[in-house]
Structure formats: structure tokens, C-alpha cells
Structure 1
Amino acid sequence: MNIRFAKDKDLKKVKDMWKYCFDDTEGFLKYYFENKYNCKNTLVIEDNNTIISSLQLNQYKLVLNNRIYDTSYIVGVSTFPEARGKGAMKVLMKSALNEIYKKGQFISILMPIDYRLYRRFGYEHCYDQIEYTIPIEILKDFKVKGDFKRAYLEDISNLISIYSSYLKDKNGYVFRDRYYFENLFKEINSEGGYIYIYKGKDGFDGYMIYFKMDKDFFVREIAYKNVDALKSILGFIYNHNTQFNKVIISSIIDDKIKYLISNLKNIDMKIKPFMMGRIINFEKFIKSLDLDVYVDFNLKVEDEFINQNNKVFNINVQSGKIQVLETDGVEDLIIDINSLSQLVFSYVDVEDVLFLRKIKVKNEYALNDFKKLFTKKINYINEYV
């Protein structure tokens, strides 16, 4: 097997592989390969001079612990059926992890089809969403107080403002700028969706992204600055009651809709696993943190795929100065890369990992120091490719 970055001439093969492996519409395929696909971010495996497997490293900026990190979002992991079971995915993923490391990036994300496939490469569950299924008649008491209009490119500055306000105290979300929203419009249009923006008494306060499915009104994303905007969004949805019997809404885990529904027994709420994350460069990530603590301990990280992480590190923080150095000293704590990734993404805290017996503790004082590095936060991400 030979692994390399794709060339322009490989586009048809990569696209055919995607079409075989994923159930996407022609409209979405056209959007993706004209707007998102980049051969310079695509790894392929050749066997006997024929491409048999590929993936893409789509580039995003992620807001984690109030800092913006460049990150690679692994998508399109695919193999032609005749090549499956020969170890291509392992070769592909190991190469991808090391390419991301060489890019100088500290973290990575992916949306799994099957969690078991990616846990063995160090990715771990780091994001949830809440999904509501609501009979539309339940929303009959909600009224639109302001005005809705379909959003266009000239509304991007207001969309950015609403999105930023909605997520100002959240973690792990994608930094969205004008270029991002220009692409988002193309993506939503490719699948026949809609973006509507709401204007209340104080200006533009909310937006929603939705699709009219065969039988359901599906809301992929909502964002709002205040309760009036949220109530008006629900009223807007109710105004489709002659077309649809129910609405499905995906949202952030601490979304406020559940506080507004009069009888929760009549709706369905479920937590939906959404995204996995992975630490790529442990040393540099820790150095990037803003820490006002005093710690000094040795941590052994177990990482089968990135050798630079698979070491014992001395972590020393004094007066805001952070040192992370490889050491031959005896480890105080031992942790695997999966659990460490969940801590880095603030999806769990050290107490959670300790409860799950994912930390081997040799020094209780070091455990207290380790707890100072990580806090649990509310994560949100809603990117599909």
C-alpha cells in the first residue's frame, strides 16, 4: 500500500468512493466537491496503482477554553468494498494523525458512523446535542412578536452576531466568520433547506436553519439572544401546522425550549451523541492554556499512534509560566489518550475520569494538581462536513 496526498486527477476516484460509501444527494455532492473538497487536504491509499481508500482533513477554527485553535475535521473516511478488511483504514488513520501533528495543530475532531471504529485511534466522545420531537399543536400558544425573513448574504453580519451571542459562554464551537457563512448558505441550499432570521424590538435576535422533510419539519440549528426570539421561533414553526404534524429540533444541550413547554410529557427529548475529539499535540496544548495555578507532577500519557505524546511529561506551572517537559522520572499518574482527549475538550472533569477508573494514581498530591488543569464545560458543535 502507498499513501499520499491526492492530486487533481484523483477527483473522480475520490468522489466515486464517497458516493458508494455515503447516502448523500446529488445536490450535496455537487456542493461538497465544488466548495469544500481540497486535494491538498485529502489522503489516499493506492494498491497496485489503484486508489482504494481516502479521507479529508477539512480545516476549521475551534474555540476551546476561550482560545481559537486551527483544527482538522476528519471526514469522508471511505474504502471501496473490494479493499475492505485489508487494514487500509488503520494505515489511513495513522497517517492522518501524524499529518495533523505535522501541521502544528493541537486537536482534531470527527463525526463517527461507529464509535468503535475511531476509539482505537484515540478519538473519544466529546459532544452531545439535545433533540426534541414535538407535535406542532403543542406550540399553538407561541406567537411571532417581530418579523421573520429569509436570510441572504447581506444578513451575514447579523447571523454572526446572533451566533456569537448564543455561544458566548459555551465551549468547543466552531469560529464562524463571513467566509464560513457564505459556504453555509451554499450547503443549506444544496439540500433544499432554509435560513430565516428574526428581527425583534431590539434588532436581529435569532435565526433558524430548517428543512421541510416528507412528514417532518426538521430544525437543524437555532440561535437566539433572548426568550422573545426563542418564543417567536417556536411561533414561526407552529405557523406550519397545516403542512406538518410534528417538528424535530436539534440544539445545544442546555437549550431553553424545555422550560417553555407546558406539558413535557407530550414531547420526546433525547440526548444525541454528535462528535468525537482527540488531542494531537499534548505538550503544546497544555502550554497554550491560561493557567493561574501552581502544579508540579509527572504524567504518563499512553498514545499508540502519536509517538510524541506517548511519554512521561513533567508539568510545572508557576506564576502563569507553563513548562511541559519529557522526563525520565517516575510517573505520578497514568492516563490513556482517549480519556485525556475528553479532559482537553472539557467534556468531563478529572473526577469523572477517576470514577471510571481511567487514571492510574501513584501520587494523591499529583492527582490534586491534575484536577486544577481541567474544568467541565458545555460543548456545542453543529458542523456536518
Structure 2
Amino acid sequence: MGFRYAEEKDIQIIRELWMYSFNEDASSTDYYFENRYSKDYNALWDEEEIKASLQLNPYTLSIKGKKEKTSYVVGISVYPEHRGKKLTTKLLKASLLDLIERGGAISLLMPIDTDIYRRYGYENCFDMEVYNLSIRDIKIRKDRAEKTKRVREITKQDIKDIQNIYSSASKNWDNYIERDEDYFKELFKEVKSEAGEIFISYDKDEGATGYMIFYPKFEGGSKGFVREMFYKNSSSLNTFLSIIKSHRTQFKDVEICQEKDSYLKDFWGYDNKIKVNIKPFMMARIINPALFLNNMGIKNKIPLKMKIIDSFLDINNKAFIISENDVIESNDENNIDFIIDIGSLTQIALGYIGIENAVFTEKIVFLEPEKKENIVSALKEIFPNTKSFINDYI
């Protein structure tokens, strides 16, 4: 049989495969299968018995103001006795082809190992800043603390406040996941199932000014973990740092995740005792180039012809013309202006890497060197650098 979607009768065996493949405790697994699992988005490789599974969780991705329905690939798992048979390749390819048939244009994936998924055309497209430091090195300003609330049972007002804070933060981003009221309801359940906490800060005049998702017993209680922290002002940031520092008798170190180019380094004054790393977080790949680029409104005054190399999805291995009206497929591969692989095109289209970077690293190949300067100039206008943020786990 091969590729199919799950049915109600399959849930127990899928759950067993999930538990076997991932190092999760029972409460996290219970949360996922009770709240996030849907057979409509669970793809299987079934040859008289289920051998492999993956989830295609639906999200709405905002790309430069345009809404794009996408599927977030999670939970890729193969039973041990069937590993080494390229079932991941078969299942993922069948899933992406099915998504294309259903009108999909782009796919997201959070990798365990980027090299594994690069072979399928995925590339890093979303990063974050990760701070690792000792509790004693957290700097706070005691005169600027705000009122805070630890959310025990989330209310409609809490959701509204958190949603407004996220919306305020997302105004600074070009590409991000849309989060509605239902998203935050589920997020609260997810965090609670993992022994995490959500704090909201308030100003007497402005109302809610920030929220923090905090795990005080991360890695078995050896450190604290801030999964997400958004703040409208320095007082809100100071408040959350004060809360973290108040746990100094419970753990010595903390890890804090932030959007790239956050205010945290400036707030602390670039302390050399604090380690700051850029963490590649999410990979992406365009699965339908013409549809995706047209949805983004890509066009050019003078037609450019590009050849896309997609070694995983052969249907994309062809020429495309970027014209003054739209992007269209072309059966004629003569007079190609440049060649680019699908992963690099995804990075450029999402603004993760600039055109100059792509040229220097030879991600773009020019067939006629004398045209290179004009093509580069055009591509810079078509694909400007952008700011992105994604911090969604399942």
C-alpha cells in the first residue's frame, strides 16, 4: 500500500511508535495525543503493517504580510526493524507531493540533525539567540519592577493579553507564525504538561506589557529555561529577570531564548561572562515554487529565467520565468540567467540570506558572467533581507 493517512484504529500503534522514538515523559505524550494529534494530518507508510509515521501539523505562516498555509513536519519515526530501508525518504516525499496536490507551497521542519534534512531540500531559515549564564550574572534594576501574574488557570483576558503582546512583537518581523486564541489555549496546556510556567507583567497605565514562558525544572532541575520572553518596555524585561533570579536557591544556571537582535545584550551591557549563541531553529523548503513566489507577489520588470535544482522533488526540477506580472514554469531551458537549488531559493525568498551572501557562497550560478551584475541588482530588489522569528515546537 505504501503512503496513506491514519485512521482512528491506528492511534495506539502510532502512539507506541512515538513513545519508542522520542525521549518524552508520559505527560508530554498524553498532551500531544489528547490535544494536538489529528489523524487527518498523520501520514503513514503501511505495507501490511505500519512501518513509519510523520505528522503534518497545519500552521499559518505570515510572510512579508502575506498569509501562507503551511505544514510543519514533526514526529518522523520508523520502527527499528524497518530502519535503513529509506522509509523516511519514501514517506516524506509522498507527503510533500500530496501537500502540493492540496495546494501547499512551503513546508517547515524542526530538525534533530540539519544534515539529514538538507538532502530533502530543507535549509535553515529561522534562528534565535540563546543566552547561557549563571543566575548570579543576571543584572536587574530593582526600581523598575512591574506587577506580575503567574498564570495558573488561563482566562480569556490572559489569552487576550498574551495575544496582544505577541502581536506587538510580531510587528517587528517580516516572517512568523500566526497565533490565534486557540493557539494560546493549546500553548498553555502544552507548557503545563511539561511543568512550565507562564508569567504576565502589567503596567498600571498600559495594562499587560509582556509575558514569559519559563521552565524552573529544566534538564531534571539542573538549570532554568526561558522558552519565550516578550516585553514592551525595559520594566517588563527587568521584572522577568527578577523572577528568574529569585530561583537562585533552586538552580545555578539558566538558558534564555530570544529573537535575533533582541534588547537583552544592550540591557546587560555586553557582559563577557554571558555566552550568547545563534541557534538555527527551523528549516523550510519551498514545495511549489511558482505558487509560493506568486503568493509573495514576486515579479521583475525585465524577465529573468532561473533553473531550479530540486533533487528530491523532480517536479520542481525545471526552468521558471520571473516576469513583470508573475512567476511561471517554462519548458524551454535555453537562455537560463541563473541556476539555484531549492533550499537556497527558500533561504533567499524568506530573506534568511542576502543576495550578496548567496553569490559569494556560490548558491547562485550565473551562466553568462557578463550579465551577472544586472541579475544581482535585480535579485536584490526582488528578494530583500528580512527579519524572522519562529519558536513553535509541535
TM norm structure 1: 0.95
Deviation string, structure 1 residues 154-192 (Cα, Å, up to 9, x no partner): 211110110111121213311001010011011011111
Q: Give the match for residue 186 of structure 1.
A: 189
For the pair 1:218 / 2:225, whether they are aligned, the reply is: yes
Q: Which runs of 5+ in 1 are unaligned?
A: none
The number of residues matched between the two structures is 381
**Aligned equivalent of 2:389, options 371, 380, 384:** 380
Q: Is the 8 A contact 1:172 1:380 kept in 2?
A: yes
For the pair 1:246 / 2:253, whether they are aligned, the reply is: yes
Q: Give the match for residue 324 of structure 1.
A: 328
Letter in 1 for 2:386: K
CA-CA distance at 1:353 after TM superposition = 1.1
Q: Give the match for residue 161 of structure 1.
A: 164
CA distance in 2, matches of 1:293, 1:153: 48
CA-CA distance at 1:111 after TM superposition = 0.5
Q: Give the match for residue 87 of structure 1.
A: 86
Of 232-241 and 361-370, deviating more is 361-370
Q: Is the 8 A contact 2:214 2:225 kept in 1?
A: yes
For the pair 1:198 / 2:207, whether they are aligned, the reply is: no
CA-CA distance at 1:331 after TM superposition = 1.0
Deviation string, structure 1 residues 224-269 (Cα, Å, up to 9, x no partner): 1122211222122222223232221011111111111146112111
Q: Is the 8 A contact 2:299 2:382 kept in 1?
A: no
Q: Is the 8 A contact 1:286 1:324 kept in 2?
A: no
CA-CA distance at 1:290 after TM superposition = 3.8
Give the direction of change, closer, same or farther, for the CA distance of 1:94–1:141 in structure 2 (3 Å limit): closer
CA-CA distance at 1:301 after TM superposition = 0.7
Q: Is the 8 A contact 1:6 1:44 kept in 2?
A: yes
CA-CA distance at 1:73 after TM superposition = 0.2
Give the direction of change, closer, same or farther, for the CA distance of 1:141–1:368 in structure 2 (3 Å limit): closer
Deviation string, structure 1 residues 189-242 (Cα, Å, up to 9, x no partner): 111111110002321110000111212121110011122211222122222223
Q: Give the match for residue 9 of structure 1.
A: 9
CA distance in 1, matches of 2:92, 2:292: 21
CA-CA distance at 1:286 after TM superposition = 1.5
CA distance in 2, matches of 1:206, 1:42: 35
Q: Is the 8 A contact 1:142 1:238 kept in 2?
A: no
Q: Give the match for residue 67 of structure 1.
A: 66
CA-CA distance at 1:101 after TM superposition = 0.9
CA-CA distance at 1:327 after TM superposition = 4.2
Give the direction of change, closer, same or farther, for the CA distance of 1:5–1:263 in structure 2 (3 Å limit): closer
Report the 3-state secondary structure (helix = DSSP H, G, I; strand = E; otherwise coil) of the residue aligned with 1:169.
Answer: coil
TM norm structure 2: 0.93
CA-CA distance at 1:11 after TM superposition = 0.7
Give the direction of change, closer, same or farther, for the CA distance of 1:43–1:156 in structure 2 (3 Å limit): same
CA-CA distance at 1:368 after TM superposition = 2.8
Give the direction of change, closer, same or farther, for the CA distance of 1:339–1:323 in structure 2 (3 Å limit): closer
Give the direction of change, closer, same or farther, for the CA distance of 1:140–1:271 in structure 2 (3 Å limit): closer
Q: Is the 8 A contact 1:170 1:379 kept in 2?
A: yes
CA-CA distance at 1:323 after TM superposition = 4.3
CA distance in 2, matches of 1:323, 1:58: 28
Q: Is the 8 A contact 2:351 2:383 kept in 1?
A: yes
| RMSD (Å) for aligned C-alpha atoms | 1.6
Q: Which runs of 5+ in 2 are unaligned?
A: none
Q: Give the match for residue 370 of structure 1.
A: 379
Q: Is the 8 A contact 1:5 1:44 kept in 2?
A: yes
Give the direction of change, closer, same or farther, for the CA distance of 1:46–1:127 in structure 2 (3 Å limit): same
Q: Give the match for residue 352 of structure 1.
A: 357
CA distance in 2, matches of 1:301, 1:314: 11
**Pairs within 5 Å for 1:25-40:** 25-40=25-40
Letter in 1 for 2:122: Y
Deviation string, structure 1 residues 106-164 (Cα, Å, up to 9, x no partner): 11100011112111111001111111112222235433522100232321111011011
Report the 3-state secondary structure (helix = DSSP H, G, I; strand = E; otherwise coil) of the residue aligned with 2:303.
Answer: strand
Letter in 2 for 1:284: L
CA distance in 2, matches of 1:259, 1:39: 46
Letter in 1 for 2:192: N
**Aligned equivalent of 2:366, options 355, 361, 369:** 361
Of 333-342 and 258-267, deviating more is 258-267
Q: Give the match for residue 241 of structure 2.
A: 234
Report the 3-state secondary structure (helix = DSSP H, G, I; strand = E; otherwise coil) of the residue aligned with 1:265.
Answer: coil
